[in-house]
């Protein structure tokens, strides 16, 4: 895998973790996932295979080197060739195992990146939905307040008009009473 892409993915993951309010929880979740992946049976098997292979080949190489050192000068070339061949075999097998481990790590990194991306999308969706809900509730509350204020103004206007009419009628009765002949 390209080291730049891996560095970019790691940088994005760190930025995501540090940029969220729930950063610690996401960090702990990612750390747990990384630990889980490290302890994944496929990765653990690859590690054990490499270690076992190195343990198996070390005595063989040492024996061949000792035999070469003890052998006659003419045989030394043959032993050196065999050691070289064995070293090439070991290098090939180590390289193959390393490629397998790298492939497993790459696959695991893609899985982690996918999980991080999915989680980020879920969080963004939840935030958007919550913001829409809040906006709807604010709009509904504002409409209710406006309707109530309009109703209250209408009621007050009717009461003031009624009170003004009653006051006018009372004033007219007082004027009529004053104009009436006194007996």
Tokens of 171: 């004033």
**pTM of the entire predicted model:** 0.35
Residue ranges per domain, the chain? Answer: 3-132
Angle at 48 between CA 43 and CA 50, to 5 degrees: 95
Integer Cα distance of 80 and 68 in angstroms: 7
The answer for residues whose C-beta is within 8 angstroms of residue 30's C-beta and 6 or more apart is: 13, 17, 112, 116
**What does the pLDDT look like over 159-182, one tens digit per residue?**
898 988 888 888 888 777 666 666
**What does the pLDDT look like over 121-156, one tens digit per residue?**
888 888 888 888 888 888 898 888 888 889 898 889
Q: Torsion angle of alpha carbons 101, 102, 105, 110, nearest 10°?
A: -140
Tokens 């560095």 -> residue:
7
């Amino acid at each position: 895998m390209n080291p730049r892409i891996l560095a970019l993915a790691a940088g994005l993951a760190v930025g995501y973790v540090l940029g969220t309010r729930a950063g610690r929880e996401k960090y702990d979740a990612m750390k747990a996932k990384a630990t889980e992946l490290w302890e994944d049976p496929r990765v653990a098997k690859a590690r054990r295979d490499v270690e076992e292979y190195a343990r198996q080949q070390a005595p063989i190489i040492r024996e061949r080197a000792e035999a070469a050192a003890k052998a006659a000068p003419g045989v030394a070339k043959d032993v050196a060739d065999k050691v070289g061949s064995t070293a090439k075999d070991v290098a090939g097998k180590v390289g193959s195992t390393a490629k397998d481990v790298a492939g497993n790590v790459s696959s695991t990194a893609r899985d982690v990146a996918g999980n991080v991306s999915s989680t980020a999308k879920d969080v963004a969706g939840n935030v958007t939905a919550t913001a829409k809900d809040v906006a709807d509730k604010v709009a509904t509350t504002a409409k209710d307040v406006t309707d109530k204020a309009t109703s209250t103004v209408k009621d007050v206007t009717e009461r003031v008009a009624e009170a003004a009419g009653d006051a006018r009628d009372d004033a007219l009765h007082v004027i009529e009473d004053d104009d009436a002949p006194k007996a």
